[in-house]
C-alpha cells in the first residue's frame, strides 16, 4: 500500500515563496473553511486587515487521492511559514494525456465467429493552484 501511495502522490509539488513589500489589504469576505487552525478562502478574501507574506504554488495529478490531500498540504505549508490563512488565487486543470484500455474476446462456433469487447479511456489531468499566504495585522486607531 505504501508503494502504491508513493506512486499516486509522485508529481505533487507544493512550493512556498516569500512575498516582500506588500501593503495592508482587506477583502470583502467570501467563503472559508478552517483546516488545521488555518483559514482556507476559495471565493473572496477576509474582510479584516491582512498582509500577504508568501505565495504557494501547488501542482499535482487531478485524481481523487491527490486532490483530497491538496487543502491539507497547502495549509500545512502556510502554517509552517507563519500564515494565518490562505486565499486561492487560481485553480486550473489541464489534460496532459490519457490511459486507454481495450478488451476483446472472439469465439468461433462452427463457421461463425462472435466478437465482443469493451474499452475505457480515462484522461490524465494535472491540477495547478496558486494561493496567497496571509498574516492578519492589527490597525491601531489614534
Any domain includes 101: no
Q: Tell how strand 112-136 and strand 50-61 pair up.
A: antiparallel
Any domain includes 118: no
Per-residue cell: 11: 508529481
Any domain includes 44: yes
Any domain includes 65: yes
Count of the separate structural domains present in the chain:
1
Distance of CA 102 to the CA centre of its chain: 31
pLDDT at 17 > cutoff 90? yes
The range of the structural domain enclosing residue 26 comes to: 2-96+126-136
Q: Taking residues 87-116, what's their average pLDDT?
A: 90
Give 46 or 94, the one with higher predicted confidence. 46
Any domain includes 102: no
Any domain includes 61: yes
Any domain includes 40: yes
Any domain includes 9: yes
22: helix, strand or coil: coil
pLDDT attached to residue 8? 46
pLDDT in tens, 82-98: 999 999 999 999 888 88
Amino acid at each position: 500500500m505504501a508503494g502504491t501511495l508513493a506512486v499516486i502522490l509522485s508529481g505533487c509539488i507544493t512550493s512556498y515563496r516569500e512575498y516582500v513589500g506588500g501593503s495592508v489589504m482587506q477583502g470583502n469576505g467570501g467563503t472559508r473553511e478552517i483546516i488545521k487552525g488555518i483559514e482556507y478562502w476559495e471565493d473572496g478574501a477576509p474582510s479584516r486587515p491582512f498582509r500577504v507574506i508568501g505565495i504557494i504554488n501547488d501542482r499535482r495529478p487531478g485524481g481523487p487521492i491527490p486532490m483530497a490531500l491538496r487543502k491539507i498540504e497547502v495549509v500545512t505549508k502556510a502554517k509552517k511559514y507563519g500564515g494565518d490563512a490562505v486565499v486561492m488565487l487560481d485553480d486550473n486543470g489541464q489534460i496532459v494525456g490519457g490511459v486507454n484500455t481495450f478488451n476483446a474476446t472472439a469465439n468461433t462456433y462452427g463457421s461463425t465467429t462472435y466478437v465482443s469487447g469493451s474499452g475505457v479511456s480515462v484522461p490524465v489531468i494535472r491540477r495547478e493552484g496558486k494561493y496567497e499566504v496571509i498574516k492578519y495585522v492589527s490597525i491601531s486607531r489614534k
